[in-house]
């Protein structure tokens, strides 16, 4: 199920990065002060999730994303959730009330999601060595056998 938040991407469909291609360059600082770019991880695996607090499917998938981040952090998995929320207080209250422990970022201008061609939330990119391995549109169970196996397989190759 996709969130009905439609984004104006300003990109043509042909310009959207595809699987196997380099991820668009971006730099953002997390709520805890960590700096993030798509190329700084070496062999680590980056799960880059675009979401918003008022997107019901986003909220539904967040607990499993949070759990995956905790479960596989020591194996080299980095999970980054970039919110498009404009209201900082609403966003911070949401993180507190939902016990979100994964690394979170706020991009109210939607600059980063637009650079990826994101048109709806949630949308997630799995990135390794600066390249897009997989794009996931819509909410998924990140603790499913498929997602955990995919992450483990990618981490074991590095």
Q: What is the pLDDT of residue 136?
A: 94
48, 111, 153 from 75: Cα distances, Å: 17, 30, 11
| 114 alpha carbon, distance to own chain's centre | 13
Kindly indicate the confidence band of residue 15, based on its pLDDT and cuts at 50, 70 and 90: low
Q: pTM of the predicted model, to two decimals?
A: 0.87
State the average pLDDT over residues 51-71.
Answer: 95
Kindly indicate the confidence band of residue 42, based on its pLDDT and cuts at 50, 70 and 90: low
Average pLDDT score, the chain: 87
Task: Pick the more confident residue, 117 or 17.
Answer: 117
DSSP the chain: ---S-B----S-GGGS--TTSBPPP--EE-TTS-EE-TTTTTT-EEEEEEE-TT-HHHHHHHHHHHHHHHHHGGGTEEEEEEE--S-HHHHHHHHHHTT--SEEEE-TT-HHHHHTT--BSSEEEEEETTEEEEEEES---TTSHHHHHHHHHHHHT-
State the average pLDDT over residues 4-18.
Answer: 52
Q: Is pLDDT of 67 > 60? A: yes
> Over the stretch 112-154, which tens digit does the pLDDT of each residue have?
999 999 988 999 999 998 899 999 999 999 999 999 999 999 9
Distance CA 57, CA 145 (A): 20
15, 20, 47, 73, 113 from 69: Cα distances, Å: 30, 23, 9, 6, 20
Domains and CATH numbers, the chain: 36-149 (3.40.30.10)
State the average pLDDT over residues 72-97.
Answer: 94
């Amino acid at each position: 199920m996709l969130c009905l938040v439609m984004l104006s991407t300003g990109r043509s469909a042909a310009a959207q990065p595809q699987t196997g291609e380099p991820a668009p360059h971006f730099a953002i600082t997390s709520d805890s002060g960590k700096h993030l770019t798509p190329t700084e991880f070496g062999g680590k695996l980056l799960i880059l999730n675009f979401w918003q607090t008022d997107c019901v499917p986003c909220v539904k998938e967040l607990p499993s994303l949070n759990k995956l981040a905790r479960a596989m952090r020591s194996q080299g998995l980095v999970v980054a959730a970039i919110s498009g929320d404009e209201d900082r207080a609403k966003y911070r209250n949401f993180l507190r009330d939902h016990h979100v422990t994964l690394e979170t970022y706020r991009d109210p201008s939607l600059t980063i999601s637009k650079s990826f061609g994101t048109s709806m939330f949630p949308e997630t990119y799995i990135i390794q060595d600066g390249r897009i391995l997989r794009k996931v549109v819509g909410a998924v169970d990140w603790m499913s056998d498929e997602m955990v196996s995919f992450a483990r397989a990618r981490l074991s190759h590095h």
